[in-house]
Amino acid sequence: MRVNRLAVAAVAILATALSTACSGGSDEPSGQAASQSAAPAGPVKLTYWTWVPNMDKIVTAWNQAHPDIQVTVSKQAGGDDAAAKFLTAAKAGNPPDLVQAEYQMLPSFVAADAVADLKAETAQAKAEFSAGIWGLVTLGTDAVYAVPQDSGPMMLYYRKDLFAKYGIEVPKTWDEYAEAARAVHRKDPKVFLGTFSSKDPGWFAGLSQQAGAQWWSISGDAWKVAVNDEATKKVASYWGGLVKEGVIDGMPYFTPEWNKALNDGRLLTWPSAVWGPGVLSSNAPKAKGKWAIAPLPQWNAGENHSGFWGGSSTAVAAKSPNKAAAAKFATWLNTDPQALGLLIKEGAVYPASTKGAALMTEAPDYFSNQPDFWKQAADIGATARGFTFGPNVGVTYNAYKDAFDKAVAAKSDFAAAVQSMQDATVADMQKSGFTLAQ
């Protein structure tokens, strides 16, 4: 009896020790000490702010494999609000260890001294990314401020069925796009080829990148700001002309009205990024299987350029007490084949890692009519060009929304709106004391 009882007790203790070791999230130091005498401090605990869907499932895979580094996901709303929240938390001194950082916001995080330099920890990871993407996390400096996660090369989403109905070809140049816009609107005044969104500065930035814009650049020890460069003014005037003519609509993206227009077939194209299928499938479920993708129309026939809309990276907070562990997780998440597979499957992410493309085999469900979706996307992605983002993108993007809100409502000069973006950006940088090149 006594032996039996002892055996039961021993088994129970062993089971507890094992289960705490496996489940990882151990709250009891005693269980931890029993299973891991070498590290009496217990596992490193990291918090991670992200808005990638199902990230908790992906993190579970990591937590099971790494009992010594336990990551907890805190789901964020995403976009500009998430960036503001992180900057505020960093300023208040209690940021998360890891944060999803959109490429355009990364310089602001760096300028606020909110993210850590991961150069030493990411020496191996560098080879996994194209030079263009890597430049977005180094900002052209010697430091590495994040590990790239996904990218958003832009392409033209169009309604294949309605293009046939209205008898228009897929436009190869922006001139053809303008002609098509006029043709469609003539045939049915309620229908538009597209809409210009005054709420999406990232979209406009991507279109400007395609045209060759360089909103910010670093020369020596000074910033050069050229939001109003010729390429950007060309893009703005083009869309401004079409909005004024009344052949391109002025409703913003991601609004209930936009959803309705997509579902009703009153919008025929959407120049968007590779993450478009996720948006379309949730915002326009009725049009499943009716959309297709093509390269963005070009400014000059025969050219082959695209830009980036969105895309983000995983950064480590400068104030995190466990930077090395956090960098290890960030590298795993964005370069490990298992993690990339999960990001694609669970998170609907288009990985920035060059390994990612090989893992994308099956077209998104929404695009089941286009089996070579990922092949096309990869070809287009190879033509995308970006630019360096400055340290006050928040100011520039806010100026975009205010200036283009007014310009679209009044159908006034879009180039003037670009000028006010430039003025707001420069004024803010001068006020803070940044060195500006002329």
Partner 1 sequence: MRSPKKGARAGRAGAVPYLFLAPAMALFALFMALPIGYTIYLSLRRTKVSGLGLGKGARTEVFAGLANYAAAVGDGELWAGWLRVIAYGALVLALMLGLALVFALMLDAAHVRLARLTRISIFLPYAVPGVAATLMWGFLYLPSLSPFGEHPFLSADLVTFSMANVAVWGGTGFNMLVLYTNLRAVPREYYEAARIDGASELGIALRIKIPILVPSIILTTVFSVIATVQVFTEPTTLRPLTNTISSTWSPLMKVYRDAFVTGDLYSAAATSMVIAGISLVLSFGFLRVVKNRAFGES
Interface with partner 1, residue 111, by CB under 8 A? yes
- Cβ 330 to partner 1 shortest distance, Å: 20
**Nearest CB to partner 1, comparing residues 21 and 143:** 143
**Nearest CB to partner 1, comparing residues 140 and 321:** 140
Interface with partner 1, residue 119, by CB under 8 A? no
**Nearest CB to partner 1, comparing residues 10 and 254:** 254
Structure tokens at 258: 């936009």
Interface with partner 1, residue 435, by CB under 8 A? yes
Interface with partner 1, residue 123, by CB under 8 A? no
429: CB partners within 8 A, 6+ apart: 223, 225, 390, 391, 392, 436
Angle between helices 393-410 and 79-92 (to 10 degrees): 150
Q: Are 169 and 226 contacting, i.e. CB atoms less than 8 angstroms apart?
A: no
Interface with partner 1, residue 141, by CB under 8 A? yes
Interface with partner 1, residue 415, by CB under 8 A? no
Name the one range near partner 1 by CB under 8 A: 303-311, 347-355, 363-371, 428-436. Answer: 428-436
Interface with partner 1, residue 338, by CB under 8 A? no
Interface with partner 1, residue 283, by CB under 8 A? no
**Member of 26, 50, 108, 306 binding partner 1 (CB under 8 A):** 108
**Nearest CB to partner 1, comparing residues 111 and 294:** 111
Residue 312's φ and ψ, nearest 5 degrees, are -145, 170
**Member of 52, 110, 205, 262 binding partner 1 (CB under 8 A):** 110
Interface with partner 1, residue 40, by CB under 8 A? no
Sign of CA dihedral 186, 189, 191, 196: positive
- Cβ 316 to partner 1 shortest distance, Å: 15
> By rule CB under 8 A, what count of residues binds partner 1?
45
Name the one range near partner 1 by CB under 8 A: 219-227, 229-237, 293-301, 379-387. Answer: 219-227
How many Cβ atoms from other residues are within 10 Å of residue 324's Cβ?
14
Interface with partner 1, residue 416, by CB under 8 A? no
**Nearest CB to partner 1, comparing residues 34 and 112:** 112
**Nearest CB to partner 1, comparing residues 110 and 181:** 110
**Nearest CB to partner 1, comparing residues 199 and 234:** 199
**Nearest CB to partner 1, comparing residues 139 and 292:** 139
Interface with partner 1, residue 107, by CB under 8 A? yes
3-state secondary structure the chain: CHHHHHHHHHHHHHHHHHHHHHHCCCCCHHHHHHHCCCCCCCCEEEEEEECCCCHHHHHHHHHHHCCCEEEEEEECCCHHHHHHHHHHHHHHCCCCCEEEEECCCHHHHHHCCCECCCCCCCCCHHHHCCHHHHHHHHCCCCCCCCEEEEEEEEEEEEEHHHHHHHCCCCCCEHHHHHHHHHHHHHHCCCCECCECCCCCHHHHHHHHHHCCCCCEEEECCEEEECCCCHHHHHHHHHHHHHHHHCCCECCCCCCHHHHHHHHHCCECEEEEECCHHHHHHHHCHHHCCCEEEECCCECCCCCCCECEEEEEEEEEECCCCCHHHHHHHHHHHHHCHHHHHHHHHHHCCCECCCCHHHHCCCCCHHHCCCCCHHHHHHHHHCCECCCECCCCHHHHHHHHHHHHHHHHHHCCCHHHHHHHHHHHHHHHHHHHCCCECC
**Nearest CB to partner 1, comparing residues 24 and 265:** 265
Interface with partner 1, residue 19, by CB under 8 A? no
Interface with partner 1, residue 293, by CB under 8 A? no
Interface with partner 1, residue 261, by CB under 8 A? yes
- Cβ 245 to partner 1 shortest distance, Å: 18
Name the one range near partner 1 by CB under 8 A: 255-263, 293-301, 338-346, 367-375. Answer: 255-263
Q: How far is Cα 393 from Cα 201, in angstroms, rounded to an integer?
A: 10
Q: Which parts of 184-203 interact with partner 1 (CB under 8 A)?
A: 198-199
**Nearest CB to partner 1, comparing residues 195 and 208:** 195
Interface with partner 1, residue 90, by CB under 8 A? no
Q: How far is Cα 152 from Cα 162, in angstroms, rounded to an integer?
A: 26
**Member of 52, 99, 139, 326 binding partner 1 (CB under 8 A):** 139
**Nearest CB to partner 1, comparing residues 5 and 190:** 190
Applying CB under 8 A, which residues contact partner 1?
80, 84, 87-88, 91, 107-108, 110-113, 139, 141, 143, 198-199, 218, 221-223, 250, 252, 254-257, 260-261, 391-392, 394-395, 398, 401-402, 404-406, 408-409, 428, 432-435
